[in-house]
Structure 1
Amino acid sequence: MKTLEPDQISLLLNNKGCEHALYLSYICENLRQFGDYSLVTNRLTTYPQTIEELLNVLLNEVYAIIDNQSLVDAFFKLLIISTVGILESDIVNLLQHFMNKTTDENNQILINRMIWSTLQRHMKTFLDTTWMDGHQLVIYRHASIEQILRKRCLKENADEIRSLNSFMAQFYHKYSTIKDFSFRRIPYHYEQAHMYKELVAYLRSSESRGVSRTDRQAYLRRRRCTKQLSFTDDPFNQRAYLCHICAMQFKLGPYTMAKSSCLICTNMIMGGNMTQTNALRREARVCQKHGSIGYPHSIQCIICKSLRPKVTGTAPSVTDPVPLNICFDCWFAGGAIPRCCGFELE
């Protein structure tokens, strides 16, 4: 404001939009980047009087200046989909993979640090940075710009939104430079992409160790089957089992022993592998859809889906299937009623 002449300040303050601090901040940032000082007065007369109109004007100018409009669209879309921002260290690599996801090796589009710097300079009015867990992220300056860009770029296209989330999950899984941050973001994007099979498999893998217990529980409980079971052991109310191979490979959870892990949230059940009654556990049971058609004569591993005869009347063996349990928290969160512990993956 100190660099403006009195008549220019008057023009600025006479704009009704400047009653709002956010509107004024957008204009000041835009003027700061305005190259020709002699044209500032004319520039001040062109600003509309609402935030939405102003942002659309500024966005139109960005699209007019930058030759590669598809690159601008890609960045805006990915930043929207990220919800928390994009790692500064990932942006070039992210755009490179996104712009070339359908091109062959001979027609690759080059995205380097210089291209990103140019893009960033023109979009500076709309962007800001923040820190999360010690990592710098690029974010939108305000929710208002995100709302306008969501309407403008995504247009509530559900298929495109799922596709973008799928891309983000795959990128974080394979190419991100900061694994501890990226691996915590993968479940969100799997869920938003409706990739439920991949979501459950990931949360049961060792790669998901960085996902917090609360987040893990929330993601997995949302996928739990809603089928209510009877009180009798029959084909419609089957005991859930894990085959001995999956049990030995700890396939049920990322860092707990199979016999003491909750089938739903994968957290360890204290004393879960002991035979006596335990108030912290409940039997894990599944409906016919998630169990074996031949139950009770045959049982199905909840992980690998292999079928095998149910062992009866013989001494215990290391190759016997492992009966599974759920923790008290998951039992209570599920309504404290007999309910299927399988996952809906479609």
Structure 2
Amino acid sequence: MKRILNVHEAPIILFTIIVTLLFAVISPDFLQFDNIKLILDQNISMFIVAIGMTMVILLGGMDLSVGSVLAVTATSVGLFLSHGIHPWIAAAMGIGIGVLCGVVNGYFIAVRKIPDIIVTLATMYIFRGIAVGISGGTWMTNFPADFRFFGQGNLLGLSFPLLTAIILIAVFIYLLKFTRPGRRIYAIGGNNSAAKLAGISVAKSKFMVYVLTGLLVGVASVIFASKVGSVQASTAGNSLSFEVMAAVLIGGGSIFGGVGTIAGTMLGVLFMGIIKNGLIISKVSPFWVDAATGFLIILAIVINTLQRIRQNKGKEEDLV
């Protein structure tokens, strides 16, 4: 039992089970297969973007621009489609724009060594402004039927967006846990100075993380545009940055870096999706959804913090 409780993701797993059971008691419809599928479908883009945010926060950084990157990428894809470009080519070009946005962030943060909060705050406005400018402030709609596959199609009997998310989650879990670049990310976040002394190129690792985050946001934006069927540049992804950062922290990540897992973050995204869906199904006023979500986020983070304190005390006692 003690070993189970020492699992990094134990608090969020326990908390998710409790909240799920609570909503199941309040509303019999909550655990219906269709509703569970709805929760997953509604959060696919967030699952994918949160992978990148996990790596950023593991470095001890943050990225306030992911919502704006999603907006400019999705808007660009909409423009490509409106000019008759094939959906697969338009999607690839959109992902390329996401990568380019990541390159811009990575260059100024890693190479020019400007604090990430300043760079991503600036690019948050720049990318959003570009999205609104190229769209002319109008909605991107009337996407071709073939484009719907990215957000609504099926492959091998599974939802294509869900399959994409599962593959990306598996790839990046492997990347962080079993490869040198992944271990370097943890090392830099844990102790930047020690990582430099160990010969790790901090700038190279940071640049790579922001580029990969841009790639992931690009994939998420294609799925988002296809699933929703329209894009409004001024509002798309407005709260995405804060939601994915909250998911990382709920999942056991530390804002100071070096602590966290992609599995924990995915549970954090799922936890937030369950809360929002459960409150709506329970017919709680929409005005209280955000407040209740915020309260539960604080509670989950407090539980994770207490777990880390207990684990650190246990390590100190073992040393003594």
Q: Does 1 or 2 have the higher relative contact order (CA < 8 Å, sep 6+)?
A: 2
TM-score (norm. length: structure 1) = 0.21
Give the TM-score, by structure 2 length.
0.22
Which has the larger share of strand? 1
Which has the higher Rg, Structure 1 or Structure 2? Answer: 1
Name the one with the larger helix percent.
Answer: 2
